[in-house]
């Protein structure tokens, strides 16, 4: 594998882009003290300078406008986010002003000049940067293993079993099509992905005869659908809808070769779809900005339930389960560290006050106004009193 192949794919808040050039500013903060009528000077070290990343980036190709708009939204959305830098790894940063250049001679290409400054948590340390990189690596490795399992294990020797596998495949495509209608809002992205689904549906009979092509097509559907969702949070919600795919299948009766083959193929297809949904959810869930420990715990619990569900599938082999354990454990470690810096919801007693005064008194700003309103269901924002719920570290 070449050094170029080992580079990470660049993205900010889950939105991918191509890097043309990049430069990074870092080092130490210093002040030079000089004295009148003297050659003596003293250089004072004021600590580490936050890194600044300047990137010349391009977005082009399929879904160009959707990806461009997704990056603009990410850059303009308040709060820090995860920057995946192809050379320097993963950093938590804040986006600074950007410039966007487009011209009529190269329609379908957006050129960005991006500047990010490393964000520091004022109270507690953030998770180490390598944890995200390890999660992404484990997820990609596990997806490749799942694809291999489909190639090695699928076997159709009976016409009825072929029709059953075809019906199962069409159920998957229909479910994905429904989720596309719900989660993919950009018209260009919707049309592009719909063509992919329609092509798969039209050629499903041929695709089923070659397990290599089948596994590649299933994987491509997951990858393209993930790319069509600009928000890591929405992508996590979408793929959670595939966690129980096939759980309501009718069990075949009779211990015959044909029935056993049919049941095995169902388990393989259900298992591969549920497992890929879990793996892509791991990748997206760790890119979401969680505000409270309760939000982290809820997400972690949902992923753990799906993990146990996947492990119970007899068609998932030992090597796949080992890679799943790696991805799950690294995601857990990340969530544990995120929980250290997230807010906890506690009870708080207050005299009569307004929502504005309460937020300035507790946090010194108005960043948590909407959160407190939702936590407590406040109706009269000018008269808040008694025992309420607030965010605290």
Q: 295-313: per-residue pLDDT in tens?
A: 899 999 999 999 998 888 7
pLDDT of residue 6: 56
Q: Do 53 and 180 lie in a common domain? A: no
Q: Do 100 and 184 lie in a common domain? A: no
Q: Do 76 and 205 lie in a common domain? A: no
Q: Do 183 and 236 lie in a common domain? A: yes
Q: Is residue 125 part of a domain?
A: no
Q: Do 156 and 303 lie in a common domain? A: yes
Domain of residue 17: give its range: 4-30+45-118
More confident residue, 52 or 392: 52
| Structural domain ending residue among the three candidates 118, 150, 166 | 118
pLDDT band per the 50, 70, 90 thresholds, residue 240: very high
Q: Do 319 and 355 lie in a common domain? A: no
The mean-pLDDT minimum among 113-122, 146-155, 273-282 falls in: 146-155
Q: Do 149 and 284 lie in a common domain? A: yes
Q: How far from chain centre, in Å, is Cα 338?
A: 15
Q: Do 270 and 379 lie in a common domain? A: no
pTM: 0.68
pLDDT of residue 116: 94
pLDDT at 373 exceeding the cut of 70: yes
Is the CB of residue 176 less than 8 Å from the CB of residue 107? Answer: no
Q: Is residue 183 part of a domain?
A: yes
How many CB atoms are closer than 10 A to CB 147? 19
Cβ-proximal residues to 122 (8 Å cutoff; 6+ apart), any chain: none
Q: Take residue 94 and report the two structure tokens written for it.
A: 């804040």
**Torsion region of 63: left, alpha or beta (phi above 0 gives left; psi -120 to 50 gives alpha):** left
Question: Residue 229 to residues 41, 146, 185, 307: CA-CA distances in angstroms?
Answer: 56, 23, 8, 23
Work out how many domains the chain is built from and give that number.
Answer: 3
Q: Is residue 92 part of a domain?
A: yes
Distance CA 384, CA 137 (A): 48
Q: Do 364 and 330 lie in a common domain? A: no
Q: Is residue 91 part of a domain?
A: yes
Q: Do 151 and 278 lie in a common domain? A: yes
Q: Is residue 38 part of a domain?
A: no
More confident residue, 393 or 7: 393
pLDDT of residue 129: 40
| Structural domain ending residue among the three candidates 341, 366, 383 | 341
Q: Do 278 and 366 lie in a common domain? A: no
Distance CA 77, CA 289 (A): 12
Q: Is residue 36 part of a domain?
A: no
pLDDT at 327 exceeding the cut of 60: yes
Distance CA 373, CA 183 (A): 27
Q: Is residue 37 part of a domain?
A: no
| Structural domain ending residue among the three candidates 118, 151, 177 | 118
Distance CA 228, CA 187 (A): 10
Average pLDDT over residues 82-87: 85
Q: Is residue 364 part of a domain?
A: yes
Distance CA 220, CA 239 (A): 14
CATH of the domain at 55: 2.40.30.200
Q: Do 147 and 68 lie in a common domain? A: no
């Amino acid at each position: 594998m070449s050094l170029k192949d080992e580079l990470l794919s660049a993205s900010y808040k889950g939105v991918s882009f191509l890097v043309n050039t990049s430069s990074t500013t870092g080092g130490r903060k210093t002040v030079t003290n000089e004295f009148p009528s003297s050659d003596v000077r003293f250089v004072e070290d004021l600590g580490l300078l936050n890194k600044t990343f300047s990137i010349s980036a391009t977005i082009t190709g399929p879904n160009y406008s959707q990806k461009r708009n997704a990056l603009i939204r990410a850059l303009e959305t308040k709060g820090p986010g995860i920057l995946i830098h192809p050379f320097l790894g993963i950093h938590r940063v804040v986006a600074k002003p950007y410039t966007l250049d487009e011209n009529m001679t190269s329609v379908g290409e957006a050129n960005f000049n991006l500047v990010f400054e490393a964000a520091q948590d004022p109270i507690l340390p953030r998770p180490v940067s390598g944890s995200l990189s390890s999660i992404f690596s484990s997820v990609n490795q596990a997806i490749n293993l799942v694809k291999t399992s489909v190639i090695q294990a699928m076997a159709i020797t009976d016409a009825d079993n072929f029709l059953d596998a075809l019906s199962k495949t069409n159920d998957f495509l229909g479910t994905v099509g429904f989720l596309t209608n719900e989660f993919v809002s950009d018209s260009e992205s919707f049309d592009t992905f719909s063509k992919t689904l329609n092509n798969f549906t039209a050629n499903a009979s041929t695709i089923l005869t070659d397990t290599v092509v089948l596994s590649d097509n299933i994987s491509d559907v997951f990858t393209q659908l993930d790319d069509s969702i600009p928000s890591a949070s929405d992508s996590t919600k979408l793929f959670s809808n595939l966690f129980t795919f096939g759980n309501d299948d009718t069990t075949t009766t009779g211990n015959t070769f044909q029935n056993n083959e049919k049941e095995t193929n169902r388990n393989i297809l259900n298992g591969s779809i549920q497992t890929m949904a879990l793996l892509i959810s791991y990748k997206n869930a760790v890119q979401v900005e969680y505000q409270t420990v309760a939000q982290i715990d809820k997400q972690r619990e949902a992923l753990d339930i799906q993990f146990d569900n996947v492990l119970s599938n007899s068609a998932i082999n030992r090597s796949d389960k080992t890679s799943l354990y790696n991805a799950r454990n690294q995601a857990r470690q990340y969530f544990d560290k995120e929980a250290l810096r997230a807010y906890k919801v506690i009870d708080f007693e207050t005299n009569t006050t307004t929502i504005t005064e309460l937020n300035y008194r507790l946090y010194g700003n108005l960043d948590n106004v909407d959160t407190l309103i939702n936590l407590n269901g406040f109706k009269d924002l000018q008269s808040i009193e008694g025992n309420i719920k607030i965010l605290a570290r």
